[in-house]
Amino acid sequence: MEKLNPFDTILKQIDMAAEKLKLDPSIVERLKHPRKIIIVSIPIRMDDGRVKVFTGYRVQYDMTRGPCKGGIRYHPDVNLDEIKALAAWMSWKCAVMDIPYGGAKGGVACNPKEMSRGELERLTRAYTAMIIDEIGPYKDIPAPDVYTDSQAMAWIMDTYSQFKGYPVPEVVTGKPIELGGSEGREEATGRGVAICAREAAKHVGIELRGARVVVQGFGNVGKFAAKLLQGMGCRIIALSDSRGGIYKESGLDTLAAIEYKNRTGRLSGFQGCEEITNEELLELECEILVPAALENQITETNADKIKAKIVVEGANGPVSFGARKILHQRGIFVVPDILANAGGVTVSYFEWIQNLRREHWTEKEVNQRLEEKMVKAFNDVLALAKQYNVSMADAACLLAIRRIADAMKKLSL
């Protein structure tokens, strides 16, 4: 796939919003720069006795509307521009959902697939110790992201709590239930994607029952989005992971695919399916396409080959700035990432509230609150898209940036 600088996309989106909203240039300038950038070198003793130094990042983009919120990812391609862009998108995501948070993102350049559990624990605890003065329940609250999970959050919480001398579950979200995690958190992002797909289908006039769905990426977001959409009556015709995809026009069993992936570590070889590449998967004819892998999977080089009627961005930035324009011009309805995958941060917010209050809500209560938040946000963005006669992607940026800019004005920044 074409390599693009994701932060260039951020700057283009800010310029677009500034022009349409007629923003004060001083606010525009603030919007283009993260509040704080932290870069650390993390020496870790590996299992074979070697010491390896990893580079870790934490970018706090904006705190105008509340404490920073954002995931931590472990991936070989983690770099500063990516983390800056993801932190900006988190700021916007929280604003779109009208959650009182700013945005942050963290990451370590490593390959977790080649690391043992012990190595990952030592890396996570050391990374936490090095940024410990920069995080906190009222300052910056991390969460899981690509190749991190509830176990990693437990290590972060425990390390932070040891430094403080008492348990601080509210320092992170996405924790195990046993340590103050929220019911419904694991599937929250995928649930938000499914809700947005359902609302988009209503708007476009597509019947969900029997609608063909293609999901790229079979991590936490993709698998739950596929499972929930199948539960709504959709026909899941293709799935993929980092190794490749599987395709079955008559529809495949998502629950069986999840079990197979858990057992074998891959989707390839799943019984009764053809094997296809991730590139071929994106270009399949379908009603709903969910790119839920990494950024820049649909770019200007392949946007004209997309045959879906609806694209729901499960990943962060899976459709490039230029590609979104092409898809919009072709009449393809795109639900942007800062709306579509905001279910995770929304339930993270619910988890944070529960921790601060020392409460524990039922899964039914969490899912009901998420449903209300997602539907309201979808309708808020859709209303702005109609008002300005722009795409949903542009409307989501307009809504987020307007809310942040209005808050900046009130603070006289």
The CATH code of the domain that includes 152 is 3.40.50.10860
Prediction pTM value? 0.91
- Residue 2 pLDDT exceeds 70: no
In this structure, are residues 196 and 312 in contact, taking their beta carbons and an 8 Å threshold? yes
Q: Do 115 and 246 lie in a common domain?
A: no
Distance CA 214, CA 235 (A): 9
Distance CA 329, CA 332 (A): 8
- Residue 50 pLDDT exceeds 90: yes
Helices and strands: H and E segment counts in the chain = 14, 12
Report yes or no on 406 lying in a domain. Answer: no
Report yes or no on 311 lying in a domain. Answer: yes
Q: Residues 262-282: pLDDT tens digits?
A: 999 899 889 889 999 999 999
- Residue 1 pLDDT exceeds 50: no
- Alpha-carbon torsion angle 243, 2, 112, 84, nearest 10: -150
Enumerate the active-site residues: 105
Amino acid at 366: V
Sign of the alpha-carbon dihedral angle for 402, 57, 339, 18: positive
Q: Do 149 and 199 lie in a common domain?
A: no
In this structure, are residues 283 and 261 in contact, taking their beta carbons and an 8 Å threshold? no
Report yes or no on 214 lying in a domain. Answer: yes
How much is the average pLDDT of 179-197? 96
How much is the average pLDDT of 283-310? 94
Domain count, the chain: 2
pLDDT of residue 413: 53
Report yes or no on 11 lying in a domain. Answer: no
Check residue 58 and give left, alpha or beta (phi > 0: left; psi -120 to 50: alpha).
beta
Q: State the residue range of the domain holding 302.
A: 188-331
Q: Do 325 and 192 lie in a common domain?
A: yes
Q: Residues 53-86: pLDDT tens digits?
A: 999 999 999 999 999 999 999 999 999 999 999 9
Distance CA 290, CA 195 (A): 12
Q: Residues 340-357: pLDDT tens digits?
A: 999 999 999 999 999 999
Q: Which two tokens stand for residue 124?
A: 């996570």
Distance CA 21, CA 27 (A): 12
